[in-house]
Amino acid sequence: MPIRQKIFFLTIAVVLLLVILELVRRRRLRVEYSWLWLASALTIVLMILRYDLLIWITGLVGAVIPTSTLFFFSILYLALLSLNYSVRLSDLTRQVKELAQEVALLRAESSSSWGAPAARPPDPPRASAK
Amino acid sequence: MSERVLVVIPAWNEAANLHGVVGELRGARPDDDLLVVDDGSTDGTAELARRLGCRLVELPFHLGYGAAVQAGVKYGLRRGYPVAVTFDGDGQHDPADVEPLIEAVRQGADVALGSRFLSPGAYHGGLFRRAGRRLFSLLLRALTGLRLTDPTSGLKALGPRGQTLFALARFPDRFPDADALVLARRARLALAERPARMRQSHNRHSMHGGGRAVAYTFNMFLSLLVAAAGRESDLRG
Assign A65 to helix, strand or coil: coil
Residue B96 is classified by DSSP as G
User: Using the beta-carbon criterion (under 8 Å), do A122 and B2 form an inter-chain contact?
Assistant: no
pLDDT band at B151 (very low <50, low <70, confident <90, very high): confident
Residues B187-208 have pLDDT tens digits of 999 999 999 988 866 554 455 5
Q: A67 lies in a domain?
A: yes
CATH node for B5-236: 3.90.550.10
B235 touches A: beta carbon within 8 Å: yes
User: Using the beta-carbon criterion (under 8 Å), do A98 and B169 form an inter-chain contact?
Assistant: yes
* ipTM confidence score: 0.85
CB B167 within 8 A of CB B180: no
Give how many domains chain A has, as a whole number: 2
Q: A58 lies in a domain?
A: no
A114: chain B residues, CB-CB within 8 Å: 55
Are A67 and A45 part of one and the same domain? no
Domain ranges of chain B: 5-236
Q: A125 lies in a domain?
A: no
Residues B167-186 have pLDDT tens digits of 998 888 777 778 888 889 88
Cβ neighbours of residue B86 under 8 Å, at least 6 residues apart? B7, B8, B10, B69, B72, B73, B154, B155, B156, B157, B158
Residues B70-117 have pLDDT tens digits of 999 999 999 999 999 999 999 999 999 999 999 999 999 999 999 888
Q: A68 lies in a domain?
A: yes
Q: Whole domain around residue A29: which residue ranges?
A: 1-49
Are A68 and A102 part of one and the same domain? yes
Burial class (CB in 10 A: 0-12, 13-18, 19+), A115: exposed
pLDDT tens per residue, chain A (130 residues)?
788 988 998 999 999 999 999 998 998 888 888 888 888 888 888 888 888 998 999 999 999 998 899 899 999 999 998 999 999 999 999 999 999 999 999 999 887 655 444 444 455 555 444 3
Residue B27 has pLDDT above 50, yes or no: yes
B178 touches A: beta carbon within 8 Å: no
CA-based nearest residue to B198, from B88, B85, B102: B88
Q: A18 lies in a domain?
A: yes
Q: Classify the phi-psi angles of B41: left when phi > 0, otherwise alpha if psi is within -120 to 50, otherwise beta.
A: beta
